[in-house]
Amino acid sequence: MPEPVPADTAEEGPESGSTQLSGLFVEKPPPSITAVTGMDLIIIAKVDSTTLTRKPTMKWLKGKWLDLGSKAGKHMQFKETYDRNTKIYTYEMKIIKAVAGDSGGYRCEVTAKDKCDSSTFEISVEAAQQEAQADIFSAFKRADAGEDDGDLDFSALLKAAKKKKVKEEPQIDVWELLKSAHPSEYEKIAFEYGITDLRGMLKRLKKMKVVEPKHSEAFLKKLESCYSVEKGKKIVLRCEVMDPDVQVKWLKNGQEIKPSAKYIMESLGNVRTLTLNRTTLADDAAYECVVGEDKCFTEVFIKEPPVTITKLMDDYHVVVGERVEFEIEVSEEGAHVMWYFEDIELQKDSPNYRFKKDGKKHTLIIQEATLAEIGMYHAWTNGGHTKGELEVEEKQLEVLQDIADLTVKATDQALFKCEVSDEKVTGKWFKDGVEVLPSERIKMTHIGRFHRLLIDDVKPEDAGDYTFVPNGYALSISAKLNFLEIKVDYVPRQDPPKIHLDTTGNMVSQNTIIVVAGNKLRLDVEITGEPAPTVVWSKGDKVIKDTEGRVRVEARKDLSCFVIEGAEREDEGNYTICVTNPAGEDKAMLFVKIVDVPDPPQNVRCLSVGEDCASMIWDPPVFDGGAPLKGYLMERKKKGSSRWTKLNFDVYESNAYEAKRMIEGVMYEMRVFAINSIGMSQPSLTSKPFMPIAPTSEPIRLTVHDVTDSTCTLKWLAPEKIGAGGMDGYVIEYCKEGDTEWVVANQELCERQGYVVRGLPVGEKINFRVKAVNIAGQSPPAVLSQPVTIREIMEYPKIRLPRELRTKYIRRVGEKINLTIPFQGKPRPVATWYKDGEPIDPKMVNVRNSNVDSILFIREAEREHSGTYELVLQIENMEDRAAIVLRIVDKPGPPVKLRVTDVWGFNAALEWEPPKDDGNCDITGYTIQKADMKTKEWFTVYDHNRRTNCTASDLVMGNEYMFRVFSENLCGQSDDACLSKNTAVIAKTDLEHKRSPYKEKEITCVPKFTQPLVDRSVVAGYSTAISCAVKGFPKPKIVWMKNKMIISEDPKYLMRNYQGVLTLNIRKPGTFDGGKYSCVAVNELGKDEVECKLDVRLATDPDKK
């Protein structure tokens, strides 16, 4: 982990690197700004983006390190605007109700790719003249307090005590009281006078009084004034003390810190460190290191990482009175989230809103939505933003299933049923305007959206008009109950059969009966005839004989009942009733029509999208339910969400719809419901996900870069606004002046910001335009202000020889040579290379020419490539020339004719001649070496000797020497040397040395310890070592033992032997490591042994004593 950087040592300028300082500000904040306590303050800075390729980034800093962007809230607000005409960005920092803690040095810093600029300014906050002394407490609020830190609020007891003191005692200047007080009394004073931010007060008190730096007798180097570290990281506080054995105490906010896994205290020589692991906001405090009476102080600031929003807010489309829950998820638990309605911050004490936190989930709850709450809702964290739209419409109750008229017989059952769109709606039943009350025979039920009135044992007085009236709506649903009376007329005994059909009730025509799918059809047909006729019901050619089941026939006296339970679509068709007796027969035909809710619409798809809208289309349902379609209802949702939002409350008749007010770059899905007079269908299949995106803005700064007789080179910059659809490429179009038909120049999209339009007619005036293309389509075009005449302009040929090629160009043998010579000229010049006046050989040198340069390439340079190369540039009768001198160098050959010219004393004079091959460059020196004829080992006498002669000195008397010389140049030393033809003999003098006879000394000896082991007592947990010294030859073998047991290769023990000094290191011994340790030295002459006793004791806490 990187070491934390103290705040007062941080760099003030921008980061070093490729970013260069430049004047981006067109308006800077004033150097000095004065504000009044309790008043708002606005600081403005303006940046010119005319020369920038991307949007600039602005940072507001306080001091040297504190980024104010993370403190945005109700105390500090930041705003950014952009003027398209002037291309100027305006940045505002607003401090709401300034306090004394806002005083200090500030810096605004703007960066844009490789450019940056900064401006510093000072803010001083003065107290208002009418403020009383008691208002000084507002200055004790922390300068870096978040928006949750409200006004100071003391208990009623402290308030009462303060009021009494103001009346009875003179006002006390708290600042003067603190200046003269001892640091140990700070907390007492803070409690007595209601100061809640003691640390913030001490920081400003330190700035107010100038303290002479006091020399400390206990500290060599004190703690830094402050440290900053990111939340969750590790930080090390480090100081140096004068006495390496002194004990120190660490304090946090005046309380002593005990060692733990969180706080690790270490002592290494004079250095004392306190390590804080996994820092949290609770570690943001003042720390002290205490040595006796001396102390050194520091402050640790914990920087919280930005909180991002991981789950975005959904849109809502509700009716008045519904509950709305805007829910988001953030990256960290306990994060602070600000909720806004449009530009107004929502407070916790608002009666219409309720806020809920559950781990990382944050919810804004609107208990009962009203029309006043329509708008955009925002959620802000210090690292993210999301928004959701709330649409509220008036409640409109829709009748999904009407009440059907009934015709029943005495003692039968009558059931009225209707369905409304809101399952919460209640209502009342009326008969002929009189409310119907429940009884044993009359029952009323309400289940979901269905309301039922059930009348058992129908009587003649039950006939009449029945009406259902929903509570709270000017709406009523009516139906008629017809009582079927059986009229018995006198008939002769031989009366032919007769079918008496009642054409009222469900019959919409004389022989057609309409039944809603799922409802029950009971058709009671009166039959007369003497004798009693035989009744046969049939559907088509199929006779219905069942007397039980879903479709059945029931026979009663003078009645034939045809019943369909839970009507289905398959039950629709023509039904025939045939009655016969001996007197004749009668027939009647009925058509039963089954009506149902329609099938879901088909093939919902998106035709096109815009920046915040999408055009949707779908196919009508395959089956309309037997009733004409009234229209459709549409819903949409964000992909991945489970909450659908209604797009319309009124029935929409067309099968094409434009959905609006969507967020660009967000994936949406849509579904459609079909509606007829019976009710609403099931939802259609969800459409494929689609994303509202818009084409980019037009490219900018379209210019002509070059023109020839048949081509035109265009260049431009990317659009200012690209959007969520990104950028796929560009389309280039042209047309002749006066024409309206534009021709596309590129068949495939151009991805670069430049293009060469080819095949243009010479001399014509051509208009050009460029469009940006993304998934949403083409942007508006960028058009040249005037047409371009297609005619190449003659330009004199000019070679621009690079500076390094204007002098002799030297390269070594085997190196690669790649020379790029730029030039200019129109039309395209003809470039020709010559070497020493002759055309170059293409087998030796490769040349590649382009419109703007010529490249000479040699893969592996050889000596024969050296020479003068000339580039000739020609356009018709005009030309330009440039010469390059190329020299390929190699190592030189050896010198020649090396000889010893003179010998005197201990010296020898040498001479030689330069090498025949100098490697194609100057000889820079020679290396001379000598060798004794006995050992034949070479030693250097001189390096880089420039002359062709030298004198070798300090030769040894009586030895014979030979010499060799290497030549050197730019490439290095020659591979071979030149040996001297003769040698130099250093003659001996007349002195004769008589050597004494050599007597070999006996050095073998028995092992013997010269330094024994010493008994030791150590503390458990602290590494220790025992040592001794031994002599003996041959070198003895060493064996360490504990309690007469040989110590094996145990990592706890480390055995060393350095020139007879034997050491046994024991790593962090425990009580079980105590005992007798012995060391045995053995060789072939004998052995010796020493031993000692090691006592390991437990550490004791001096505080407990």
735-785: per-residue pLDDT in tens?
998 888 899 999 889 989 999 999 888 888 899 999 999 877 888 999 998
Report the C-alpha gap between 87 and 969 in whole angstroms: 61
Q: Could you tell me what percent of the chain has a pLDDT over 70? A: 88
Cβ pair 663, 724 in contact under 8 A: no
Contact at 8 Å (CB) between 273 and 238?
A: yes
Q: Which residues face 568 on adjacent strands?
A: none
Mean pLDDT of the chain: 83
- Name which residue leads in pLDDT, 179 or 25: 25
CA atoms 737, 740, 745, 751: torsion sign: positive
Nearest to 128 by CA among 208, 42, 38, 41: 38
Facing residues of 387 across strands? 378
Number of neighbours of residue 25 by Cβ within 10 angstroms: 17
Encoded tokens for 278: 């996994």
Cis peptide before 827 (omega within 30 of 0): yes
**Tokens representing 989?**
């003098």
Report yes or no on whether pTM surpasses 0.85: no
Higher pLDDT, 36 or 792: 36
Q: What pLDDT score was predicted for residue 198?
A: 64
Bridge partner list, 554: 561
Position 166 scores a pLDDT of: 37
pLDDT attached to residue 991: 61
Q: What is the DSSP string of 69-127?
A: GGG-SSSEEEEEEEETTTTEEEEEEEESS--GGG-EEEEEEEEETTEEEEEEEEEEEE-
Contact 636, 669 (CB under 8 A): yes
For 610-644, what is each residue's pLDDT tens digit? Answer: 888 889 999 999 888 888 888 999 999 998 888 89
Q: Judge contact between 112 and 54, C-beta under 8 A.
A: yes
- C-alpha span between 1013 and 13 (Å, rounded): 63
Range 248-261 average pLDDT: 90
What is the chain's Cα-based Rg?
52
Strands 399-401 and 414-420, sheet pairing: antiparallel
Question: Could you report the per-residue pLDDT of 971-1014, keeping only the tens digit for each?
Answer: 899 999 999 989 998 887 666 667 777 777 778 899 999 999 99
Contact 26, 51 (CB under 8 A): no
Please determine, for residue 792, whether its predicted confidence score (pLDDT) is greater than 50.
Answer: yes
Bridge partners for 766 per DSSP: 736, 788
Neighbours of 79 (CB within 10 A): 11
Q: What is the DSSP letter of 983?
A: -
Find the mean pLDDT for residues 55-81. 80
Do the Cβ atoms of 900 and 909 come closer than 8 Å? yes
Is pLDDT at 703 greater than 70 in this prediction?
yes
> What tens digit of pLDDT does each residue of 638-654 get?
988 888 988 888 889 89
Residue 282 confidence (pLDDT) above 70: yes
Which of 48-52, 498-502, 563-567, 1009-1013 has maximum average pLDDT? 1009-1013
Q: Rounded to an integer, what distance in angstroms lies between the CA atom of residue 636 and that of residue 49?
A: 40
Please give the share of the chain, as a percent, with pLDDT higher than 90: 25
- Is residue 152 predicted with pLDDT exceeding 70? no
Report how far residue 1021's alpha carbon sits from residue 1042's, in angstroms, rounded to the nearest whole number: 19
Q: How many Å apart are CA 799 and CA 1028, to the nearest integer?
A: 83
What is the model's pLDDT at position 321? 80
Kindly tell me if the per-residue pLDDT of 950 is higher than 80.
Answer: yes
| Predicted confidence (pLDDT) per residue in 346-372, tens digit | 887 788 888 988 888 999 999 888 888
pLDDT digits (tens, 9 = 90+) for 508-550: 455 788 888 888 888 888 888 877 888 888 888 888 888 788 8
Contact of 264 with 277, CB cutoff 8 Å = yes
Tokens standing for residue 898: 């090396």
Instruction: Give pLDDT tens digits for 1063-1089.
Output: 999 999 988 889 999 999 999 989 999
Q: Name the band, by pLDDT with cuts 50, 70 and 90, for residue 211.
A: very low
Measured CA to CA, the distance from residue 435 to residue 419 in angstroms comes to 20
Report whether 406 contacts 431 (CB < 8 A): no
Q: Which of 218-227, 317-326, 390-399 has the lowest mean pLDDT?
A: 390-399
Q: pLDDT per residue over 403-432, tens digit each?
A: 888 888 877 888 888 888 878 888 888 988
The rounded distance, in Å, linking the Cα atoms of 862 and 843 is 13
Specify whether the CB–CB gap between 43 and 121 falls below 8 A: yes
One-letter identity of residue 578 = C
Structure confidence at residue 516 (pLDDT):
84
Look at residue 556 in the predicted model and tell me its pLDDT. 76
Which among 544, 533, 552 has a CA at the least distance from the CA of 574?
544
pLDDT recorded at residue 502: 64
- What does the pLDDT read at residue 162? 38
pLDDT at residue 506 tops 60: no
Task: Quick: pLDDT tens for 159-169.
Answer: 333 333 334 44
Triad 658, 660, 663: Cα angle to 5°: 135
Q: How confident is the model at residue 193 (pLDDT cuts 50, 70, 90)?
A: low
- Check pLDDT > 70 for residue 131: no
Interval 927-944 mean pLDDT: 91
**Helix (H), strand (E) counts: the chain:** 4, 89
Quick: pLDDT tens for 819-874. 999 998 877 889 999 998 888 888 889 999 888 899 999 988 888 888 999 999 98
Q: What SS3 class is residue 1080?
A: strand
Q: Quick one: average pLDDT of 278-306?
A: 86
What local confidence, expressed as pLDDT, does residue 485 receive? Answer: 65
Phi, psi of 408 (to 5 degrees): -130, 165
- Position 787: which residue type? P
pLDDT value at position 364? 92
